[in-house]
Amino acid sequence: MVERAVSEWGRIDGIINNAGITRGGMSIEENSDDDFLRLFEIHTLASARLARAAWPHMKDARYGRVINTTSDSIWGLPAAYVTVKAANFGPTRALAVEGAPHGNHVNGVAPTGVTQMSPPPAAGQDDRDQLFPASAVAPTVIALLMRASNANGLCLQVGGNRAAEIFLAVTDGYAASGSDPSTEIADDIEHVVDRAIWSSPKNFEDAFALTIERARRRWLS
């Protein structure tokens, strides 16, 4: 596919990894190993293969845009589908870091758009179809593909001509100081999840530096 595009147009400016299927049931008990593997092959591995094929051309051109597709299903069920959609978050961040020095930007979208595969509207959502036509996902995707866009490493919830960032964050946390840290952490779990102070590292180095800083604070206090 990539070679054909380069042969016909001389370059490849961007790719959108949007292939996907559904398979298996809602419960973990209804999802076989084959369900997981087939979904991973289509949603995640295929995205990596296409990005890998396009990557050298984008590096040489010092310009390229990659859009991966995740899903609002990352907040919950179904088990197999959410696993592979959440998996797309990782390579989006990794390739964004790898591509930045070469002018290549990689972002992800979690689209909400009504299609033939959509279930009937839930109670109180009678206006869903009017609010979320599939066509209202495209403007944000186009914006991320633009040469003028500086967005990189983002995951955006998109739909209804609206875009919002989905991001990973880490709380300030809690460090046990007693002789039984397991019990202490279990008893004070509310401090572990307290979101009054949180950070969103830009990359692994930032995350590790934050972990070290908080460990030092614990042992030097």
Mean pLDDT of the chain: 92
| pLDDT reading at 180 higher than 80 | yes
Q: Where are the domains of the chain?
A: 2-117+126-166, 170-220
Quick check: 220 pLDDT over 80? no
As a whole number of angstroms, the distance between CA 93 and CA 99 comes to: 10
Q: What is the pLDDT of residues 35-54, one digit of tens each?
A: 999 999 999 999 999 999 99
Q: Which amino acid is at 78?
A: P
**Encoded tokens for 141:** 């995707």
CA atoms within 13 A on the CB side of 87: 18
Q: Is 111 exposed, middle or buried (0-12, 13-18, 19+ CB in 10 A)?
A: buried
85/93 Cα distance (integer angstroms): 14
Over the stretch 83-123, which tens digit does the pLDDT of each residue have? Answer: 999 999 999 999 999 999 999 999 999 999 988 878 888 88
> What pLDDT is recorded for position 87?
95
**Whole-number pLDDT of residue 216:** 82
pTM attached to this predicted model: 0.89
Catalytic residue among 36, 55, 81, 132: 81
pLDDT in tens, 52-85: 999 999 999 999 999 999 999 898 878 899 999 9
Instruction: For residue 221, name the pLDDT band (cuts at 50, 70, 90).
Output: low
Position 166 pLDDT exceeds 80: yes
Residues whose CB is less than 8 angstroms from the CB of residue 128 and which lie 6 or more positions away in sequence, other chains included? 114, 121, 122
pLDDT score at 203: 86
CATH class as words, domain 2-117+126-166: alpha beta
Confidence of residue 152 (pLDDT cuts 50, 70, 90): very high
Q: How many helices (H) and strands (E) are present in the chain, helices listed first?
A: 10, 7
Residue 219, pLDDT score:
65
* 81 is known as an active-site residue: yes
